[in-house]
Structure 1
């Protein structure tokens, strides 16, 4: 059994550009511990979102292997990978991806409903999480009736509601004011400190840098820094 929550070995990713293939990730090797809040930083285009999408089982690598809690996820069939993601992974997208015909509570409850929980029970559990995120009063509203920050918090609730073992976040505080962003990060940190879970966050938000346990920095599709020295974070600028 691996001592790491996530183990990435030799991961590379190519994307087609015209008749060519452009390599955007180069031989990534990294392990992520459970019970820690790990930040992934770097300039736009450095490969951060591509890497976390591969770790979360959303985007297949061109080369390499990814193990999530002792499961080689790209050895799974497509159907088994979907089931594994549903049971074990929560992904907070930078674009909120809320369903316009569902209320905030119903959107947040989707992973529970998809896993077979009774709809009413799933929605009640989602409401409790929306309350923690300070938007319980928006639970019955539709996405079009919510601000960007409120939609972001609904997306965060959806990622956390089924208590996944791996939570992957792409700029979770980008649309939030300082107070709301701190509330979200306090919740994510509370989740991350559980010994059986791992949280990876892509961010440029220097308001929350002090909460990181570990920093991975990327440049040109490669990891250039891996450590616990937060000084590197203070060199990053919030866009």
Structure 2
């Protein structure tokens, strides 16, 4: 049986206004991402990858085109329905972690569950169980300021996965890490985040982890110029 389509992007374009000008940053992009895949989105700064990932996640509206996430046309949803869909189906791992400084690690990891309306005690227990999988349960009661960068990163991963989203999106998850720590993070994402009913998409410039991808998409000037299992030779530094 063929893998389920996680994301289907059809003829996506996006314009931005700059003074008197209209600038098109995405040009008619078509692609499908399968469940069970670890997909990288690679490109130089300004290539459109952040815009594309934002549209794929329901954060930024396209100027033209359609996006389906696990069969749901997300831009036909109302604003409230779209927020609810993201809460139920999408997990985010931000480059800067975005942990809440005033609450402990377990409470940070529990945020998506609390946002869904789960009782706080139950949400914390679920968060602690995910932190245990990530080998940071002993840090559950510490504030973010008491954690190392690597520990904060794992809390951010726990937060992204705790509500068992079908789509996990990571923005440069290894950018601030040394090579060894970066590989560990990617191994964790593959082990915990990639499943036959889930898809993980990573925006990255880090050529140290290119070999771990199932699929690499390269963007240049708002167009996909490469789609394969490896980086093209001329793009190894992109």
Q: What is the TM-score with the length of structure 2 in the denominator?
A: 0.91
RMSD value, Cα: 2.0
Distance 1:236 1:168 in 2: 22
Equivalent residue number for residue 97 of structure 2 = 96
Q: CA 1:21–1:148 in structure 2 vs 1: closer, same or farther (change >3 Å)?
A: farther
Q: Distance in 2 between matches of 1:77 and 1:56?
A: 15
CA deviations 1:125-173 (Å, max 9, x no partner) are 2123223333333322222333433322222211111110011111111
Secondary structure at the aligned position of 2:110 is classed as helix
- What is the aligned partner in structure 2 of residue 5 from structure 1? 6
| SS of the residue 1:98 aligns to | coil
Aligned twin of 2:205 = 204
- Asked if structure 2 preserves the Cα contact closer than 8 Å seen for 1:56 and 1:89, the reply is yes
Report matched runs for 1:1-239 at 5 Å: 3-191=4-192, 193-228=194-229, 230-232=230-232, 235-237=235-237
- Note the residue ranges of structure 2 that are not aligned, 5 or more in a row: none
Distance 2:117 2:173 in 1: 27
8 A contact 1:5–1:198 mirrored in 2:
yes
> Normalising by the residue count of structure 1, what TM-score does the alignment of the two structures yield?
0.90
Structure 1, residues 48-77: CA drift from partner, whole Å, max 9, x if none?
111111111111111111000000000000
Total equivalences in the alignment: 236
Contact 2:183–2:209, Cα closer than 8 Å, also in 1: yes
Answer whether contact 1:204 1:236 (CA < 8 A) is retained: no
For residues 171-192 of structure 1, the C-alpha deviation after alignment (integer angstroms, 9 at most, x for no partner) is: 1112223333222212221245
Q: 1:119 to 1:160 in 2, by over 3 A?
A: same
Preserved CA contact (<8 Å) 1:215 1:225: yes
